[in-house]
A and B are shown apart, each in its own frame.
Chain A
Amino acid sequence: MTELIKTPRAGETLPVTAGKRTNPLANVFDELVRFAQSRSLFMLHYCTGCGAIELPPAMTSRFDMERLGIQPMVSPRQADILLVTGYVSVKTLKRVILTYEQMGSPKYVIGICSCTVNGGMYWQSYATAKKLNDYMPVDIYIAGCMPRPEAVIAGLRELMENIRQGKADSWKDYYRHYDHYLGHQQRLFGETWQTPTDVISEARHYGLFGPDTLGTHTALLEQHQKPLEALEMKVDIPELTARR
């Protein structure tokens, strides 16, 4: 018999009860899983700025990222790492957030180049977002304009090490402090900003629903949120309908 887990309402926190792990091999198994995770990272093929030009040499023969178990992946649903390479314009940032929310957990964000840290040489540009970690949790920053492939690989190795030690859990931050991130997004994109991903339900699903998940900004989101509708399926080919 399974017990129904009580879903917390807004402003209410669920007492965290650490489950007793009776299996003596559990920790060993966890370590093995983490080791395996750190050695098979799929890197999303989505590059925003000029720093992306350092990735082809990092991936191909000379520096060969695949020997570390990192390979590019075209769809966000299968990817683990989101590389944000270089400047993120306000227009791109919307797409980056949509992509990030589509990725399955655990997911890691790496900010490459100075622009993701502090705007870089576009510090005065009206179109470039300055701090990437205002809008999504960033695991590792690789500074430089641009960082060389060695630096990119060094950063990725550091991420691998963090995953192996279980320290790379900033993706949980997005669920725990969703109101904070959403607030920054709303400040930039306006009050009517909405993504098709239901982050709050996901937070409940992962058991990461915290006191900061909901707040003033999510209340604002609820006011403006349009319910998502499935796309209408319509086939309008005369030859096909005639054959039926």
Chain B
Amino acid sequence: MTKDLSTWLDTLLSELQGIEVRRKSSRRIRVDVQPDALPALLELLRGRASYVHLSAISCVDWIEENEFELVYHVWSYEIGSLVSAHTRIARNPGVYISVYDIYTPAAFFERDIHEMFGVFFEGSPDMSKFILTEWDGPPPMRKDFDSEAWVNAHFDFQDYQPDWLTEIEAKGGGVAVRPDEQRFSRRDVDAS
């Protein structure tokens, strides 16, 4: 029965115009779709194909292509398979339409993406801060947010040069790569 349903789904999706369907495995389908057709696809999957569970919405920042990729993962309990619908929107201004009217849990995922990536979802019930309530910097999951520079500007690191270490180093032992030569060097801050 499950096999019949998934074959039926393949036929259904193959008949739709303008989408690219790739079956990754027996239980996973990847669908690439244009942003204007995505709500219609989700509507179809939910209403006609029993994909009632929206597991997550994830966001990928493709900074070189100047695009955000939104991935809607929907699960069907009857067919037992996961469809991930991929769509790409322009990074500027980064506005997309909410699917809250199709899937209610989308409100939380959209609120989260709004705070982490700065994508605004039109029609979402609440776009206020969710986890980063005390954060006033730029959206931190964007690729152009330099976490290390922010850390160097806002925090200090412990100096790790105790006396007993210099004694060991005088004898030829000790740390191979000194902390100030390591990854969290403050070179960038001092230079500017």
Contacts and interface: CB of A to CB of B under 8 A. Distances in A.
A187 B154 contact: yes
B154 A131 contact: no
Contacts of A187: 154
A126 B152 CA distance: 9
A135 to B, nearest CB: 11
Interface string A109-134: 00000000111000111110111001
Contacts of A118: 157-158, 160
Contacts of A131: 155-158
Contacts of A94: 134
Interface in B38-52: none
B130 to A, nearest CB: 12
Band of interface residues on B:
10 to 19
Contact of B158 (A117, A188, A189): A117
Nearest to A187: B154
A123 B184 CA distance: 8
B137 interface: yes
B150 interface: yes
Given A90-B134, A94-B134, A124-B184, A119 B148 contact: no
B66 interface: no
A77 interface: no
Interface in A87-105: 90-91, 94
Contacts of B184: 123-124
B55 interface: no
Contacts of A91: 133-134
A125 B160 contact: no
A130 B160 CA distance: 13
Interface residues of A, number: 18
A90 B140 CA distance: 14
Query: Among B148, B155, B158, B160, which residue has the most Cβ atoms of chain A within 10 A?
Result: B155
A127 B150 CA distance: 10
A123 B151 CA distance: 8
A124 B155 contact: no
A118 B180 CA distance: 13
B7 interface: no
A118 B160 CA distance: 10
Contacts of B135: 90, 127
Contact of A126 (B133, B137, B156): B137
B34 interface: no
Interface in A24-50: none
A126 B151 contact: yes
A187 to B, nearest CB: 7
A126 B147 contact: yes
Interface string A180-224: 000000011100000000000000000000000000000000000
Interface in B137-177: 137, 140, 145, 147-148, 150-151, 154-158, 160
Given A91-B133, A124-B184, A126-B137, A119 B157 contact: yes
Nearest to B160: A118
B133 to A, nearest CB: 7
A155 B36 CA distance: 60
B134 to A, nearest CB: 5
A129 B155 contact: yes
B157 A124 contact: no
Contacts of A127: 132, 135, 140
B75 to A, nearest CB: 30
Enumerate the 10 nearest inter-chain pairs by beta-carbon distance, A residue then B residue, closest first. Answer: A130-B155, A118-B158, A126-B150, A126-B147, A124-B148, A123-B184, A131-B158, A126-B140, A91-B134, A124-B147
Interface of B: 132-135, 137, 140, 145, 147-148, 150-151, 154-158, 160, 183-184
Interface of A: 90-91, 94, 117-119, 123-127, 129-131, 134, 187-189
15 contacts: A94-B134, A118-B158, A118-B160, A119-B151, A119-B157, A123-B183, A124-B147, A124-B151, A124-B184, A126-B154, A127-B140, A130-B156, A130-B157, A131-B156, A131-B158
